Amino acid sequence: MPTPETLERFISLVEANAHAEAVEVFYAPEAAVRENQSEPRVGRGAAMAREHAIHAKARSMTSRCVRPALVHGDHVAIHWVFDFEWLDGSTIHMEEVAWQHWEGERLLAETFFYDPAQRTPHKAER
């Protein structure tokens, strides 16, 4: 189970848009990450690569935890709100719930639950 301090440090890094750093610091080397019911990305390196790829497409982003994060033993649920502005000027507003399984101070497995329709970009108004 993560300590409250560990969980707050993790959330703070994500809210600072340091997503890949949060993965590097807190995910176990063998961590598995999945979105909805997709096949998991296995390994901290795969999770970091995904974060770098998303950031490379974004002009700007904001990441916010809707508190409280819920903790029960080794399980944590976090409600996230993300706003992206892509390089082409289109935007996405997403809300998701991350269901996490921690082993001590390391995140071992995570599933993001969200409505996939949110991933459709909105074109910039001219």
The string of pLDDT tens digits covering residues 89-119 is: 999 999 999 999 999 999 999 999 999 999 9
Average pLDDT score over residue span 55-75:
97
The candidate with the shortest Cα–Cα distance to 14, out of 2, 24, 4, is: 24
The whole-chain average pLDDT of the chain stands at 96
**Predicted pLDDT of residue 124:** 72
Q: What angle do CA 12, 112, 23 make, to 5 degrees?
A: 45
Mean pLDDT of 41-68: 97
Residue 69 reports pLDDT greater than 80: yes
**pTM of this structure:** 0.93
Q: Please say whether the beta carbons of 62 and 82 come within 8 A.
A: yes
pLDDT of 125 higher than 80: no
Does residue 37 sit in helix, strand or coil? Answer: coil
Fold designation for 4-114 = Nuclear Transport Factor 2; Chain: A, (3.10.450)
When pLDDT is cut at 50, 70 and 90, the band that residue 126 belongs to is low
